[in-house]
Amino acid sequence: MEGIGGVVGDGVIGSYVDGLVGRGVVRSAGVERAFRAVRRDLFVERFWVGRDSAYEVGADGWSAEALGLVYADEALITRRDADGSPMSSASQPSVVAMMLEALDLEPGMRVLEIGAGTGYNAALMAEVVGDPRLVTTIDIDPDVVAQTRGLLARAGYGAVEVICGDGALGHAASAPFDRVVATVGCSDISWDWVEQMHPDGLLLVPLDHGGSHPLVKLRLGATGRMTGRIVGWTGFMRMRGDLETSGPWALRPPDVDGRAPDAVRPLFPALERALADSSPVTDTEAEWWRMPSAWYDFHFFACLCDRRAYRGPEGLGLVDDDGASAALIRRDGVRVWGGSGLYEELETAYGRWERLGAPELSLWEVEVVPRGAQSPEFVGSEEVFVVERGRSRQVVKARGRAERAAE
Ligand SMILES: C[S@@+](CC[C@H](N)C(=O)[O-])C[C@H]1O[C@@H](n2cnc3c(N)ncnc32)[C@H](O)[C@@H]1O
C-alpha cells in the first residue's frame, strides 16, 4: 500500500485492526472492514501525543516512530490553543470503534457527525454506510474544516459533506438523519438534532457528567421523549459554541497542594474489592484515569447525588466550593481534608449506591426531555435522579439486575 511520499505496509494496518478486534471494541464485519479500508495516516499531517513534541509528516512520509503512534491506540492531538489545551484531535481508535459499533450503522443510512476533526471517523462511517455522500460532518473551526476537506478528498472521501459551523444547530438541509453522533463532549442535547433525526433514528452523545463523558445512546420514544442507556465511558474535549455551558457540577479542583490530608480512611468495600480484582497501575499519572470500572460506576452515581462531585489527579469524591475541604478516594484510601463533613456525605452516597445494588453504568435508564417538560411517572421515586441542564432535563433511573435479566 503506497503512502503519501512513503510506504505504509498492509501489515501495519492489519495488526492495528487485529488489536482493535482482539480488545473486543471492533465486533461487526462492517466496522472491521471500514477500519481495514481507511488509512489513519492520511488524516493527520501534524500531531502530538500527550504533551510530547509534535510529529510532522515530511516529504518522505511519516517517520517509523510517528507511524507507530498513528497506528497505536492513541488519541492524536492535531490542534492546541495558546495555552496548549487540545482543540482538535483524531480520537483514540478504541473509542472510535466503540462508538461506531454503538451506532448500529447499516448500508444506506444517512449520518450527521458533530465534530469533524481530522475526518477519519467520517471516512470510516462512509465505508460502513457504503457512500460518502450519506455522511455530513460539522466542525466549528474554519481551519479544521479547510484542512479536513482536503484530507478527505486526498483519501478518496471527497464526497463527504463537511460543514463549517456550530454543530449544536445540526444541518437541516441534509436531514433527516438515521444517525446523529457527537464526537466532542457535549454539555447538553440539542433539540435541533432530535428534530433533524428520522423518527426511528438514534442519537449517540458523550454527555458531560461531572467533567467526564459517559456515552449516552438515545432513541425517540413513542411519548416524544429521548430514552436510552449509557453504553460506555469517554473523556472528550469540550464542545464550544452555543452549548458551551458548564453543567451543574462545580468541578472545583481541591486546593490541597502540599497539604497532607487530615486523615486517610479505608476504601469503601465495593471499591476495595474492585481494586483488588484490577491490574496494578504503577504510573501515578495513569492512576486517576485508569480506575477499576466500579470506581467509574460510583463516580457516575456521586455526580447524580452531589454537584460537588469531582474526579481529577488528586482522586475522586467531593470537593467543597472553596476547595479547602475535600474527601477524595485514591488507591491507598479516602483522603480527607478540612473536617469529616464531606467524608460523611461521600460515605452516605456510597451507602445509597450500595443499597441500589452498586449499579454499573449500563444499568441506568436515561430519559431526556426539554427543560420544563413534566416527567410525571418519576416524581417522588427514590431511585430516580434529575440532572437539570441548560436546555434539557435528564432523568436517570436505576434498573435492577433482575429486571434487566428478565428482558
Ligand atoms: C475530538 S475532535 C473530533 C474527532 C473527529 N471525529 C475525528 O475523526 O478526527 C472534536 C472536534 O470538535 C470540534 N468542535 C468543538 N465544538 C464544536 C461545535 N460546537 N460544533 C462542531 N464542532 C465542534 C473541534 O473543533 C474538534 O475538531
Query: The domain that contains 126 carries what CATH number?
Result: 3.40.50.150
Q: 239 with 282, same domain?
A: no
pLDDT at 376 over 60: no
91 is catalytic: yes
Q: If you measure from the C-alpha of residue 374 to the centroid of ligand 1, how many angstroms do you get, rounded to a whole number? A: 33
Residue with CA at minimum distance from ligand 1 atom 11: 115
Give a yes or no: residue 143 inside a domain. Answer: yes
Pairing of strands 364-370, 226-234: antiparallel
Q: 237 with 269, same domain?
A: no
156 backbone φψ class: left, alpha, beta (φ>0; ψ -120 to 50):
left
Q: 227 with 307, same domain?
A: no
Q: If you measure from the C-alpha of residue 118 to the centroid of ligand 1, how many angstroms do you get, rounded to a whole number? A: 9
Q: 33 with 149, same domain?
A: yes
Q: How many CA atoms lie within 13 A of 255 on its CB side?
A: 8
Catalytic site residue from 91, 94, 187, 392:
91
Q: 236 with 275, same domain?
A: no
**The last residue of a domain, from among 355, 382, 397:** 355
Give the pTM: 0.93
Give a yes or no: residue 267 inside a domain. Answer: yes
pLDDT at 146 over 60: yes
Give the DSSP H/E element, type plus range, for residue 13: helix 10-22
Q: Which of 49-53, 80-84, 295-299 has the lowest mean pLDDT?
A: 49-53
Total domains present in the chain: 2
Q: Return the amino acid letter for 39.
A: R
Q: If you measure from the C-alpha of residue 11 to the centroid of ligand 1, how many angstroms do you get, rounded to a whole number? A: 30
pLDDT at 4: 38
Q: 273 with 160, same domain?
A: no
Give a yes or no: residue 387 inside a domain. Answer: no
Q: What is the pLDDT of residues 226-260, one digit of tens each?
A: 999 999 999 899 999 988 876 789 999 999 888 99
Give a yes or no: residue 19 inside a domain. Answer: yes
Pairing of strands 161-164, 135-139: parallel
Residue 282, domain extent = 263-355
Q: 199 with 294, same domain?
A: no
Q: 181 with 37, same domain?
A: yes
The mean pLDDT value for 146-168 works out to 98
Which of 181, 239, 391 for mutating ligand 1's site (highest number of atoms within 8 Å of CB)?
239
Q: 68 with 209, same domain?
A: yes
Residue with CA at minimum distance from ligand 1 atom 8: 121
Q: 196 with 102, same domain?
A: yes
pLDDT at 9: 67
Give a yes or no: residue 152 inside a domain. Answer: yes
Pocket of ligand 1 contains residue 168 by CB under 6 Å: yes
Give a yes or no: residue 401 inside a domain. Answer: no
Q: 130 with 211, same domain?
A: yes
Ligand 1 atom closest to the Cα of residue 117 is 27
